[in-house]
């Protein structure tokens, strides 16, 4: 039994969920061992939030440290199948890391366009190390996305942002995994919303599993934008989005309508959380459960806390919060939350003195 399950862990994501993916005999089964991420119970944080059951889907454990690898492996496989030689994306950092990695793995050229000064250091390091052609614009993500859409229309370069439908197909595998792990659907799925692809992909995935009679219902989708970047909540694009959660610093999401459909069809909601609420949830995830995600990833937990505080939550519910990216991508912001102590002499009594021992 354990032998079989350890073998199945090595099956590439595209193979494991092949029947739910747009894979043909011509699609190359590429992999960096994405997917199959842990779903861990979080009892201390659940008690802190006041909910019965909370699970954390650790998408940070993907090969480039974010959920983007699921969509990217599918998009790059289809680009290869179509004979493409180059891919392009706009990014707040994680999409570019994933695109650059899978392009490197398969010998494609990769162009990434990112907003100046608003990319976490680890993500910048990834694009550079994986050998992407990095372009930094004096503008934000929304402007970068407009630029690369136009570029891909005018030249033989495949766009691998989530407007590429293969991205959402790949990302839907996270919903399949949650159902497979729980043997059922949770009552609520909470996650951050930026360009709004992921909430749309999850909803598509849960609906597919339901339609295939693998689960008996679908969860309510709870999406959370940062308060300074909450166009869906306000019902209008935001020209100058701001938030310290740079991954979701987006003012005009490409999958806006799909996200609204996911919200309405599931009976869920899309709300906003302040940067202070995001930081508090981010720190609690690390300090109460030993899970270090990036700031944007904490928006789902911040949102559950807000709903509970305002009496709109469900104390008896079973929640899954998706932790979309790894904390080590943005170490600077983490360290800035604290005062790093001044050095002490390298002697035992100095240590004992500081520890009051």
Q: Does 195 bind ligand F0G (CB under 6 A)?
A: yes
DSSP code for 138: S
CB of 346 to ligand F0G, least distance (A): 39
d(CA 221, CA 47): 21
Using CB under 6 A, which residues numbered 53 to 92 contact ligand F0G? 66, 68, 91-92
CB 92 to ligand F0G: min, Å: 4
Q: Does 229 bind ligand F0G (CB under 6 A)?
A: no
Rule CB under 6 A: say whether 300 interacts with ligand F0G. Answer: no
Cβ nearer to ligand F0G, comparing 36 with 60: 60
Nearer to ligand F0G, 80 or 191 (CB): 191
* Contact status, residue 226 vs residue 248, Cβ threshold 8 Å: yes
Nearer to ligand F0G, 31 or 91 (CB): 91
CB within 8 A of 221, min separation 6: which ones? 189, 191, 199, 202, 203, 262, 263, 266, 268
Token code pair at residue 196: 């709004």
Residue number with CB closer to ligand F0G (27 or 272)? 272
Q: What is the SS3 string spanning 294-351?
A: CHHHHHHHHHHHHHHHCCCCCCCCEEEEEECEEHHHCHHHHHCCCCCCCCCCCCHHHH
> By CB under 6 A, what part of segment 101-160 binds ligand F0G?
none
Quick check: 316 and 52 in contact, CB under 8 A?
Answer: yes
Alpha helices in the chain, H assignment, sequence order? 2-9, 13-16, 43-49, 68-81, 94-106, 121-129, 141-154, 165-171, 173-182, 197-211, 231-234, 256-266, 275-289, 299-309, 331-335, 348-354
In 3D, which of 146, 11, 29, 21 has the Cα closest to residue 77? 29
- In the bound state with ligand F0G, the residue whose beta carbon lies nearer, of 197 and 228, is 197
Segment contacting ligand F0G by CB under 6 A, of 25-33, 124-132, 189-197, 302-310: 189-197
Task: Answer yes or no whether residue 173 interacts with ligand F0G by CB under 6 A.
Answer: no
Q: CA nearest 268: which of 310, 314, 311?
A: 314
Residues 171, 70: Cα–Cα separation, whole Å: 5
Q: In degrees rounded to 5, what are phi and psi of residue 284?
A: -65, -40
Task: Give the residue with the Cβ less far from ligand F0G, 27 or 132.
Answer: 132
Per CB under 6 A, the list member of 170, 194, 231, 313 interacting with ligand F0G is 194
Q: Is residue 193 involved in binding ligand F0G (CB under 6 A)?
A: yes
Choose between 199 and 215: whose C-beta lies nearer to ligand F0G: 199
Is residue 320 within the footprint of ligand F0G (CB under 6 A)? no
- List binders of ligand F0G among 197-226 (CB under 6 A): 197-198
Among positions 245-284, residues that touch ligand F0G (CB under 6 A) are 247-248
Does 297 bind ligand F0G (CB under 6 A)? Our answer is yes
Nearest approach, Cβ of residue 54 and ligand F0G (Å): 18
Nearer to ligand F0G, 198 or 227 (CB): 198
Contact, 14 vs 31, CB < 8 A?
Answer: yes
Please select the residue that binds ligand F0G; options are 35, 63, 93, 170, rule is CB under 6 A.
Answer: 93
23 binds ligand F0G (CB under 6 A): no
Candidate segments 172-180, 205-213, 260-268, 292-300, binder of ligand F0G by CB under 6 A:
292-300
Separation of alpha carbons 34 and 232, rounded Å: 30
3-state secondary structure of 157: coil
Beta bridge partners of 318: 53
What residues line the site for ligand F0G (CB under 6 A)? 66, 68, 91-95, 162, 192-198, 247-248, 294, 296-297, 324-325
């Amino acid at each position: 039994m354990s032998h079989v399950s350890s073998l199945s862990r090595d099956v590439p994501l595209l193979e494991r969920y092949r029947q739910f993916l747009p894979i043909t005999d011509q699609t190359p089964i590429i992999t960096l061992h994405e997917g199959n991420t842990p779903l861990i119970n979080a009892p201390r944080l659940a008690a802190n939030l006041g909910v019965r059951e909370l699970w954390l889907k650790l998408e940070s454990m993907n090969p480039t440290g974010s959920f983007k690898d699921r969509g990217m492996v599918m998009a790059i496989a289809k680009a290869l199948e179509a004979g493409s030689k180059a891919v392009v994306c706009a990014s707040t950092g994680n999409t570019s890391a994933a695109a650059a990695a899978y392009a490197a793995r398969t010998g494609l050229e990769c162009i990434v366009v990112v907003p100046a000064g608003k990319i976490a250091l680890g993500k910048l390091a990834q694009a550079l190390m994986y050998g992407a052609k990095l372009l930094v614009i004096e503008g934000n993500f929304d402007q970068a996305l407009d630029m690369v859409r136009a570029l891909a229309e005018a030249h033989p370069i495949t766009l691998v942002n989530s407007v590429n439908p293969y991205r959402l197909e790949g990302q839907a595998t996270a919903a399949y995994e949650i159902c497979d792990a729980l043997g059922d659907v949770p009552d609520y799925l909470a996650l951050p919303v930026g360009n709004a692809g992921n909430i749309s992909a999850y909803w598509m995935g849960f609906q597919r599993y339901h339609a295939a009679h693998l689960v008996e219902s679908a969860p309510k989708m709870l999406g959370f934008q940062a308060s300074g970047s909450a166009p869906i909540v306000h019902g209008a694009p935001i020209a100058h989005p701001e938030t310290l959660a740079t991954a979701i610093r987006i003012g005009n999401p490409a999958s806006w309508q799909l996200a609204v459909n996911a919200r309405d069809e599931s009976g869920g909601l899309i709300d906003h959380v302040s940067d202070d609420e995001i930081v508090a949830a981010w720190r609690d995830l690390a300090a109460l459960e030993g899970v270090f995600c990036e700031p944007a990833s904490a928006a789902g937990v911040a949102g559950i806390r807000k709903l509970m505080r305002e009496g709109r939550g469900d104390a008896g519910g079973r929640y899954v919060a998706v932790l979309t990216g790894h904390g080590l991508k943005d170490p600077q912001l983490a360290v800035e939350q604290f005062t790093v102590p001044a050095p002490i002499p390298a002697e035992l009594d100095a240590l004992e003195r500081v520890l009051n021992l």
